[in-house]
Structure 1
């Protein structure tokens, strides 16, 4: 049997589908698994040993569909459910399994703050999609694989951080998912522990402004490393503090302790940090904590974040308990 799993983007969302890929391959080893994503996210799955063949969308859907038709898939497993995935499903004319996207429920929650969400994590809803094939949750959580050649090299991080550090992921795809610079500066100033700032090239300027508060304690790694190398920074850290972004879920895949800071989005959208279903709640409490400003009637305001605060006050980030986050971080590092 040959199946095509579709998840075009983005980093975090692709990582959240990895239990489906692993469970499919381990429980149905005869199945040939093909995975389709956007070319720009190739690194996220390129080292995944459970995927037999990769396909990438790079702007030419017609050519892609011709390639996919030649494969003669038995099933399309649609874990994205957007216009492109529907076009591919229609063109391939084969059996389709798809996850429950909860689009209406998300709309009601973000627009009218009526919470009718199922309370079932998106990774588990993705697994529900392949249940008709007899595939079950193995309870092991998320996957991320770093190719051996892409690991950090000796000397990549300062000697001052060689004994241990906290990784703070300062980036995110939208403004309302990120702490303002002054809040990041306050957070780093309050944490009495070596810190590595993690992010892409687009975060380098912000990282410089934050690291300027103490260039010995705070090392700005934003834009200096690949995704795999940034993941290795996260892997080697004692704790990860992150916004709602891809490296948050990669940290979960690596079983790192996480403090997740939420602004315009929310774990109420069934996307909170995920470590699998094998852990008891008391163990999960030691692994992660969600920081959401309580009693905000406007939060969450979006599925994915927005370029500006719709209310023009940004209370969801401006009112974050920075001192509490710093204290929690230090305590978890001490108890590591």
Structure 2
């Protein structure tokens, strides 16, 4: 019996970026029966990979054991014990560069993610902008694996089967007897957040629809307080943030029929489970390669480039051009509702 080929995949953060590796890894082990994978990431993301055959998880301790340069040497020593055959750097940052160098010096074949920075710079620059799609991050991951000799296709992706709804969720959700919509209205940067007064309109209109229930996602006391304001007295709107842990939130997302999200982690988490995902875009744009996996482009609702021709102004949303602070106000709430209703109607045909 031939020995399994052991690939170590290194991606520490952020939430959405880690979630985007899941469909790739699921396809890799499905299409290569002789491959096993160890994902190296922050312990918080371990639930993303649970249940995928031949995939193990190694949680990095960046606060103690694996802190600093000496800690990264310790991390290399810990990982070397796993008998790794290949090292795939899906992150390509200073920490991963150091660890992969240790592996390379030790004779392990290494492949590195090409982030396509030049094309992204052309897309976001103010002058001589090249407004065309760059290669997606998912395709970049596939190319990294190809460098190691592993061809993987995502033409017909598979997703995890939906598990039973956790009992701890039922006291918040009730039994599923209608269409379930998730809404994640926040993002890391304000330039990616749909104005809350407009989001309020979206929620209020959707809540008037019979046989639908809306779940609001977020985190932290400030966001939870704002979510409770968005809920108002709508009986079929539930603030799930702060009430359950991550594993239960992931379980709920698997039972959603649709997720409305900003350009943020929740979009990618829902997409990795094969959910329908509608996203709203401000300073950023799906052409930058971060559109949710396996979603039609018309599910990405972007700010008006006729009114704001310099969009996108940023890859991650951390840069805003003066005068573009209100770009997302060019997205009409009725346009968002109409797209959700359209997708709901497609699902219920």
TM-score under structure 1 length normalisation? 0.85
Report how far residue 109 of structure 1 moved.
Answer: 2.0
Following superposition, the deviation at residue 264 of structure 1 comes to 1.9
Is 1:304 the counterpart of 2:320? The answer is: no
Corresponding pairs, count: 324
How far has the Cα of 1:145 moved from its partner? Answer: 7.8
Partner of 2:117: 103
Alignment CA distance shift 1:16-1:310 (3 Å): same
Residue number in structure 2 paired with 1:263: 282
C-alpha contact (below 8 Å) 1:22/1:50 kept by paired residues:
no
Once the two structures are superposed, the pairs formed by residues 1-336 of structure 1 within 5 Å of their partners are: 1-59=5-63, 60=67, 61-93=72-104, 94-112=108-126, 114-115=129-130, 119-132=134-147, 133-141=149-157, 143=159, 153-157=169-173, 162-191=177-206, 192-193=208-209, 194-202=213-221, 203-212=223-232, 214-275=233-294, 284=296, 289-295=299-305, 296-306=308-318, 309-311=320-322, 313-336=324-347
Distance 2:278 2:239 in 1: 19
Q: Secondary structure at the match of 2:172?
A: coil
Work out the CA distance in 2 between the residues paired with 1:143 and 1:228: 17
Distance apart, 1:325 and its partner CA: 0.9
Q: CA deviation at 1:225?
A: 2.2
Distance 1:15 1:189 in 2: 30
| Matching residue of 1:280 | none
CA contact (8 A) 2:193 2:262 kept: yes
Residue-by-residue CA offset, 1:54-109 (whole Å, 9 max, x unaligned): 24242323421221233342211011111111001111222111232111222232
SS in 2 for 1:335: helix
Judged with a 3 Å threshold, the aligned counterparts in structure 2 of structure 1 residues 164 and 266 are, in CA distance, closer, same or farther, namely same
CA contact (8 A) 1:262 1:316 kept: no
Residue 143 and residue 302 in structure 1: after superposition, are their counterparts in 2 closer, same or farther (change >3 A)? Answer: farther
Aligned 8 A contact 2:46 2:57 in 1? no
1:8-42 CA-partner distances (Å, limit 9, x unpaired): 11222112112332233233323331111123323
The CA RMSD measured in Å over matched residues stands at 2.7
After superposition, the Cα gap between the structure-2 partners of 1:36 and 1:116, relative to the gap in structure 1 and judged at 3 Å, is: farther
Distance 1:150 1:62 in 2: 40
Q: Structure 2 CA distance, aligned partners of 1:11 and 1:147?
A: 22
Deviations 1:157-205 (A, max 9, x none): 157x743332111222222211122121121122233322122235211
2: distance between equivalents of 1:116 and 1:43?
Answer: 37
Segments of 5+ residues of structure 2 without an aligned counterpart are: none
**Superposition deviation, residue 147 in structure 1:** 7.5
1:250-290 CA-to-partner distances (Å, cap 9, x unmatched) read: 222333222211112210102212228xxxxxxx47xx611
Is this contact kept in 1: 2:165–2:252, CA < 8 A? no
Give the conservation status (yes or no) of the 8 Å contact 2:29–2:53: no
- Taking a change above 3 Å as real, the CA distance of residues 208 and 48 of structure 1, as seen in their structure-2 partners, is same
Residue pair 2:27, 2:158 contacting (<8 A) in 1 also: no
Unaligned runs of 5+ in 1: 277-283
Q: From the superposition, tell whether residues 226 and 96 of structure 1 become closer, same or farther in structure 2 (CA, over 3 Å).
A: same
In 2: Cα distance, 1:266 partner to 1:13 partner: 16
Q: TM-score, normalised by structure 2?
A: 0.82
Deviation, 1:144, is: 6.1
